[in-house]
Amino acid sequence: MKNTRKHRSAFHTIMVCLMMSMLVVSISGCDEDDEVADIVNAPAATDNVPKYIFFFIGDGMASPQVNLTQAALDDPHFRRVNGAITLGALSLDQFPVAGMATTHAENQYITGSAAAATALACGEKTTIGTISMNPAHTLPFKTIAEMAKEKGMKVGIVSSVSIDHATPACFYAHETSRGNYYEIASQMDDSGFDYFGGGYVKENAADIENQMDAAGYTRVSTLGGLRGVPVGQKCWATTDVYDGKALNYEIDRIGTSEISLAQFTQEGIRLLDNDDKGFFMMVEAGKVDWACHANDAVSATHDMVAFDDAIAIAVDFYNQHPDETLIVVTGDHECGGLTLGFAVTGYKNTFELLKYQKTSFKKFDYSAAADFDQALAIMTEKFGLGDTTLDPGLELTARDSIRLEDAYNRSMGGAPSPDPTDDFLKYGWYDPFTVTITHILNEKAGIAWTSYSHTGVPVPVYAMGAGADLFSGSYDNTDVAKKIMTAAELK
């Protein structure tokens, strides 16, 4: 296996060098010779067993979420941290290897986060709602995080949603139902993992805190506190401001002192990078999914940028340890049936209209409005819709106004439309006025949604570093975990 990889890698290197040499000669003479020499001398990183493994999971992230973020990054509003603002500015765009993975569960084509994360964590199919156990619920599956721990690596689990939520849970817990939050969180200390970062726990928090204290974890909830935890100390880091028990949406978090996903990742590296056997860290962007359930493209995009900022931290680490680091990025499933393109806008996109949205759907508050006109004024302030001085594309058509007024009346307790399917198509499980606003803004930008649930399209897989070659091609989601096991020699 190793030899095959080595030979294939060497063959690729030779071919690339030949092609580069021909290109250089044919285009511009000798100026790029140094660059070609660098490629020839570059270390064959893919032959190594990675000592540092990053596994990034975008919940609800498939190609449309990535593509929308690439498009939105053309506007400076969406990129506040990492420099250049052009298409192709994502850290993801630097990854040399890409593949594509299926997402289906054992018992259902369109998956949920528990079955999907079990596949990604254990390399095994299971049923909807199951946390790293077999479909019959008789056996736990060993996770790659547990395998890494057994190998002597340090292990970190980071998520922007509550740490007992399905995706992070599937790396340290084994439960028959994702809804058993207390039982899941009670397995954090049993795992012996070194770092938990991100959202809080949903049930019996005081009891979970006692368990973690007894197991020797330092608990912190501010960035200063997190930065003060000594290297090598077991740590459970949360934040002191939540949306439920999750981190706030990035669009609402930015500009506050709340810890970002990138900061949880950065501090995780600091705490875990203290052992000659290396580390495994899983980082989940959980709220891309939640924003897509709600059909809020702007909040999803901001959370994608926060995710990409966390990935950038790992890429920086890779650049310091290129021979010893593997970074894998994937999604667990698509959410919302997002696409770039809408019937009314045809071939046109005006993504720049998205920048006028200033709040997540969750934090949008129009309770001060006494009537529809006042609610519209608050909408215009928070979403730009209706303010043609900002952009003529924000003009409300007669049809928009009717949709908004119907939705507002429904939010104010008006009767649903006689056909429940019609009502559900328009509003899903969401506040009718708010979801109508995001629908209209998204549609004006040329973005459309087909669902308030997950969809069954495949997800991209990106890889960089030692073992990255394994991740090219098209395969099952269980193979993502198996490829990490192969690359890192985990069992």
Q: Which residues contact 436 (CB under 8 A, 6 or more apart)?
A: 403, 404, 406, 407, 426, 427
Residue 292 C-beta: closest distance to Zn ion, Å: 8
The answer to whether residue 303 forms part of the interface with Zn ion (CB under 5 A) is no
Return the SS3 of 383: helix
Q: How many CB atoms lie within 10 A of CB 294?
A: 25
**Contact by Cβ (8 Å): 143, 153:** no
Q: Give the distance, in angstroms, between the CA of residue 458 and the centroid of all CA atoms in the same chain.
A: 15
Which of 289, 324 has the CB closer to Zn ion? 289
| Contact between residue 79 and residue 73 where contact means Cβ atoms under 8 Å apart | yes
Comparison of 292 and 484: residue with beta carbon closer to Zn ion: 292
Using CB under 5 A as the binding criterion, the count of chain residues that bind Zn ion stands at 1
Task: Give the binding range for Zn ion (CB under 5 A) out of 126-134, 234-242, 288-296, 403-411.
Answer: 288-296
296 binds Zn ion, rule: CB under 5 A: no
The torsion angles phi and psi of 26, rounded to 5 degrees, stand at: -75, -25
For the beta carbon of residue 351, count every other beta carbon within 10 angstroms. 20
d(CA 183, CA 103): 26
Q: C-beta of 63: minimal distance to Zn ion in Å?
A: 17
Position closest to Zn ion via CB:
289
Please state the closest distance from residue 113 (CB atom) to Zn ion, in A.
Answer: 6
Judged by CB under 5 A, the stretch of 132-140, 197-205, 266-274, 284-292 that binds Zn ion is: 284-292
289 binds Zn ion (CB under 5 A): yes
Least distance CB 166 / Zn ion (angstroms): 9
Q: Which CB atom, from 146 or from 289, has the smaller least distance to Zn ion?
A: 289
What does the DSSP assignment read for 327-373?
EEEEES-EETT-EE-BTTTBT---GGGGGG--S-TTT---TT-SSHH
Residue placing its CB nearer to Zn ion in the complex, 289 or 431: 289
Rounded to 5°, angle at Cα 310 from 188 and 146: 30
CB 259 to Zn ion: min, Å:
23
Minimum CB distance to Zn ion smaller for 164 or for 289: 289
Q: How far is the CB of 188 from Zn ion (least distance, A)?
A: 22
Q: In whole angstroms, how close is the CB of 246 to Zn ion at the nearest point?
A: 12
The residue (of 50 and 458) whose beta carbon lies closer to Zn ion is: 458
**Alpha carbons 369 and 313: distance in angstroms, whole number:** 43
Nearest CB to Zn ion, comparing residues 54 and 452: 452
Candidates 16-24, 240-248, 281-289, 406-414; binding stretch for Zn ion (CB under 5 A): 281-289
Residues that bind Zn ion (CB under 5 A): 289
